[in-house]
Each structure stands twice: as structure tokens, then as C-alpha cells.
Amino acid sequence: MSDQPSPNARFSLSQMWRLIWPLVSPHRRWLWLVLFATPIGVIGQTLKPLILQRTIDGPLTHVELAGLAEHCAVFFAVVISAFIFSSLGVFALQMIGLRSLATLRHKLFVHILGQGQSFFDTRTTGALMTRTTNDVDAIGESLTRGVVGLISDALIIIGTLGMMLWLNPWLTVVSFSISPLLVWTVNLCRKQLRHLFTSIRESLSSLNGLFAEYINGVAETQRYGADAAAHHRFDEHSSHFRDLYHKANWWDAGLYAVMDGLSALSVGLVIAFVAYQAQSWTGIGLMDGVSIGVLVAFIDALNRIYVPIREFSGRLASIQRALAALDRILSLLDIDESISSGEETLSSLEGSVVFDRVSFRYSEEGPPVLNEVSFAVQPGEVVALVGSTGSGKSTIARLLSRRYQGFTGSITLDGVSVGSIDQRSAQQAMVMVGQDPYLFKATIRENIHLWEPSLMEQPELIEAAAKRACAHPFISQLSQGYETPCSAQGADLSAGQRQLITIARAFARQSPIVILDEATASVDALTEQLIDEATAQLFEERTVLVIAHRLSTIAKADRIIMLVDGEIIEAGTHQSLIDQGGAYADLVASELTKDDRS
């Protein structure tokens, strides 16, 4: 399933508010400050033209210096008050926005982190990063600049329009005689911007995904000389994103320019209409009371009312960006490919594992990866899964460790179905050492305990685990020992050292079941001996499921299961399978032949 929004998906402001309100509601005190301060600031904005009219038609026309000083004092008091309350409203709004964005990012992070492996199989890292960064920022921009700003602008427009109607209804009608053109222009630009910003979000997601892909695969790109092709692909995606943004900027700037022109046209219409009636309509009474103060106040009001109308284009653009981002955020939050958690807890797990007629495929359209697989592992037993690539070995480990669901048949731990076990309890029941060890950008100690509270409180357990994993000697030789920071993905350590640290993670936890998935892949012979020494201790203490190609590891297992195309074709001890002279015997013979040639 893709996280792209449907081409027909369109979310309204009410839907955006339903998403934002749970994030905003915990900050009601700041919201009350916005609701209190913003209207007062708006009232101050709408009173300025009226005070100006009273000043011109009153003390300024009659040269009353005392009255002029009083009007000026009132005008400055209104200006300062409007500035203070508007600033308070903006500050409170920024506080709400920043805190709400942090909550939304956390919500997205928790949602993504809680998904099963199938979710990540169909999505790139860059696309998911776009959701939690760029798309959330677009929502925040709408929250702090768009929706509430739009409401503030609407209050200014309504207040100023009411004041203009009170001063002179006829001039108000003339001023807004071009409103049909105004509405048509705004509606046209709104539709174009909405379409463009949806395309921009999708293009940015694709661009970030491509960037993350090449950064993660930089070694392969350089090794095979694919730099030129990478440059070309990135330039194509980047150019497409740039062109879309250029179009959006053109429509946004065009709308702003048109609004500015309509503002000047309205002022011109008012002046022309007043001048024409002064010459031709004297005595009719339609324009009675149009003094110099009223005319100046009207021109000032028009300039003021068109400021929020001009800003409306910017607000509109931010809302369009937010709605486009909202399409994508809601589509992501609506996806639930998480592994269901049961209610059973495993307080004292012994470590028995039973697969009963388990079948599985990664997608509905894909071929079956496992077909009626059945086997049992007794507590403390070491079972090796062998077979060629694609035979289903790693799939068995993934299903057991609950990285995937949707299989048929039954998988049980100590007789309890894995689907009915609490997720946290299942995680504590087993640990997995994979063929691609991953280290976080943290200290060696942190990479072993992985911020498990019980281990953080007992630092001596970390060193004990490292010693049993044969990792202590090389760790103690590092510049800061266990406090040595690792670079991203542990790039400053060898593959073998990274693997020994992940084995130390397994020793640090008292999980009764350990899954070793090609733990000795891609390491040198000396490190392989250390890993073999460390895993030998695990073999003695835990129930172990081993996925391995190397004969030295396989032969140590209590029982060996041979898989071909997702089916078990042989099972038994190392010697008994060799005596059968079947597929496993052929595999051992080919392995010995390779060793002889090397």
C-alpha cells in the first residue's frame, strides 16, 4: 500500500481543524490569550481611519490646537495598544504552533515506529522523513500564519467594511464594485495553487527518497562508477521540483500583483466618483457628508482593507501547502500495518518454539515463501536452518520475531500463540543477531544497553555481557573505552566489531530465545573465531535458532532442518543427514570442496 494520497483526495479546512484541535487543545491558556488579544488589536486597526476622519474634519479643519493634540494622543494610544495586543496574539500563536508541531511530530514518529516490517518494505526513508519534517512544517505554517491569520484578516475586513458603511454606504458600494473580478481571481489562483502544492509535496518526497537511497548506497555507486547516472537522476527529480515551485511562485506572485492593482483601482474609483458627483450631482443628496476627512478616511480604509486582502494570497498559499501536506499526513496516519499485540504475558518462558503447518507470502500477488512448514524446538535446543538463498530460512526468523504477520498455521512459544502474546513480552522473550549489525550514533555502552532502563541502572552487566561476547578486549583499547562514541551506523568500526557488539546486546538480556541470522557473514577468519566462541556460550544457555551457511556453525547444532523452496525436505543431526546421502549431504560436500579450493 502506498502512502501517496489519492488523486481525488481533498481535505477541507474542517478536516484539518479536526486533526489540529487535539494538538492545540492542551494549550488552552495560550489560545485564550490569542482569542483575547487578537480582536483588541483588530479593533485598534479599524479605529484608525475613523480617528483620522474625526481629526481632519474637526480640530484640523477648524485649527483647534488643543483638540488636535487630544486627537493625536488618542490616535497614538490606539496605535500603541493595537501593536501591543497584536504582538501578544502573535507570540501566543507561535507558542501554540511550536508546541503543537512537536506533538504532531511525536505522533507521527510513534505511528511509524509502531508499524511492521511490511510497512517499510514499500516506503523509502526519504519519503517518511518528508512526512515528519517538511509536511509537518507546512501544517505549522498554516497554523501560525494561515488559518488564524486568515481569521484575523477576516475580522479586520469585516470591521473596516462596517466602518466604511457607517461613514458612507454609497462610497462603499463604489469601492467594491470590482468585487466579482476579485472573487474570480482568488478562486482561480486557489485551484491552481492547491493542485501545484499537492504535486510539490509528492515531488519533494520523491526527491528526498532518491537522496536517501543514494546516500545509503554511496559505496555501491562509487564502486561501480554509477556517479554520472546518479547525478542525472537527481538532476531530473530536482528540476521537476524546481519547475513546480516556479509555477506555484508565479501564481502566488501574480495573485499578489493583481490584488495590489485592484486596491489602486478601488482608490481611483472612489476619487473619480467623488470628483464627478461634485461637478454633476450637486444637490441630489446621494453623496451628502463627503468631507475631506471622509474621503481621506476612505482612502486610508481602502489601503488598510486591501492589506489583509493582499495578504490573503499568502495565507491562501500557506493553507494550500498545508492542505496538500495534510493529504499526505492523514493518508499515512490512516495506514495501520502494525503487528497486533495480544494480552498474554510471558513471565517465565522456558523457550520452546513450535511451527505448525505455517504458510506465508510477502504479498497477496507474490509466490508462497513458506509452504506448510512444521517443526518444534525444545527449550535449550540449538536448531540450524539451512538451504539455498530464497528457501525461507530468514522468513522463519522474521515470523518468529513478529516482524511480519498474516501467515496461516500456528506459531507458539511455550504453547502460547505468538499472536496472543503482548508485544513487549514477545520482545523480551527473544533477541535476534542479524547479518547486518546496526549501531546508533551513540556510545559503545549505549549501543549495548539500547537505553533499556534495567540495564542502564546496572552498568556492570554491560561489561560482563561484552566479555562473554568477546568484545571487551577491543572495546577496552578504544580511546574512551565503553564511552567511546560511534559514528553513524558504526562506520568507524569493522564489520566484525559491530557484530560482536550486537552479540553483547544478546548476552546483556536474559531472553531465553536467540535467533542468529548469518551472524558470521562478511567477517574475517580471526573475527569469525571470536564470534564462534561467543555463540558457543549462547548455544549452552539459550534456545537458539541458527541461520547459517558455514559448515562449522551448522555442525554444532543439535538438529538441522533443510529447506528447499519454502518446504522442509530433511531434518536430523549432522551425522544422520550425511548418512542419508540427500540434499544436506550434497550441501556439505560442496562446502568441503570450496574449503579445499580455498
Q: What span, in angstroms and rounded, lies between the C-alpha atoms of 301 and 210?
A: 51
C-alpha cell at 50: 475613523
Backbone angles phi, psi at 542, to 5 degrees: -125, 165
Q: For residue 208, which of 133, 144, 294 has the smallest C-alpha distance?
A: 133
Cell of 343: 494480552
User: Boundaries of CATH 3.40.50.300 in the chain?
Assistant: 353-597
Residues of the chain with CATH 1.20.1560.10: 13-333
How far apart CA 41 and CA 84 sit, in angstroms, is 8
Q: Which of 557, 534, 553 is nearest to 544 (CA)?
A: 557
Tell me the backbone φ, ψ of residue 420, rounded to 5 degrees.
-100, 0
Q: Judge contact between 100 and 27, C-beta under 8 A.
A: yes
CA atoms within 13 A on the CB side of 15: 13
Strand partners, 412: 354, 417
Residue 277, all three cell numbers: 458627483
- Reply yes or no on domain 353-597 having CATH 3.40.50.300: yes
HEC letters along 108-140 = HHHHHHCECHHHHHCCCHHHHHHHHHHHHHHHH
Longest dimension (CA), the chain: 122
pTM of the predicted protein model? 0.67
> DSSP secondary-structure letter at 488?
G
Assess if CATH 3.30.70.660 describes domain 13-333: no
Strand partners, 356: 410
360's enclosing H/E stretch is: strand 353-360
For the chain, the distance separating the N- and C-terminal CA atoms, rounded to the nearest angstrom, is 46
Q: What is the 3-state secondary structure (H, E, C) of 238-272?
A: HHHHHHHHHHHHHHHHHHHHHHHHHHHHHHHHHHH
Start-end of H helices in 376-493: 393-400, 423-429, 444-449, 453-456, 459-468, 472-476
Rounded to whole angstroms, the Cα distance separating 26 from 522 reads 51
The C-alpha torsion from 444 through 448 and 449 to 450, rounded to 10°, is 80
Give me the phi and psi of 155, to 5 degrees please. Answer: -65, -40
Cβ-in-10-Å burial (0-12, 13-18, 19+) of 100 comes to buried
Give the count of alpha carbons within 13 A of 258, CB side only. Answer: 20
Three-state DSSP at 562 gives strand
CA angle 295, 300, 305 (to 5 degrees): 120
Quick one: how far is CA 520 from the chain centroid?
35
Strand partners, 568: 563
Q: How far apart, in Å, are the Cα atoms of 32 and each of 25, 89, 189, 455, 514?
A: 11, 9, 33, 45, 55
CA nearest to 354, candidates 376, 372, 323, 382: 376
Whole-angstrom distance, CA of residue 438 vs CA of residue 415: 32
**Residues 513 and 353 sit within 8 Å (Cβ to Cβ):** yes
Strands lying side by side in the sheet with 353-360: 370-377, 353-360, 408-413, 416-417
SS3 574: helix
Tens of pLDDT along the chain (598 residues) come to: 444 444 334 455 566 667 677 777 788 888 888 888 888 888 887 788 777 777 877 767 666 666 778 878 888 888 898 889 888 888 887 788 778 888 888 888 888 888 877 787 777 777 787 777 777 877 776 666 666 677 777 888 888 888 888 877 877 888 777 777 777 877 787 778 777 877 887 888 788 778 877 777 766 676 666 777 778 888 888 888 888 888 888 887 777 777 777 777 877 887 777 777 666 554 444 445 467 777 787 778 777 777 777 666 667 667 777 777 777 787 788 888 777 777 777 677 788 899 999 999 888 787 889 999 999 999 888 898 988 888 888 889 888 888 888 888 999 888 888 888 877 777 778 888 877 778 888 888 988 888 888 888 888 888 888 888 888 888 888 888 889 888 777 777 887 888 888 888 888 888 888 888 776 555 566 667 777 777 777 777 788 888 876 777 788 888 999 998 889 999 998 889 888 888 888 888 876 545 444 3
CA dist., res. 230 & res. 233, Å (int): 5
In angstroms, what is the C-alpha Rg of the chain?
Answer: 35
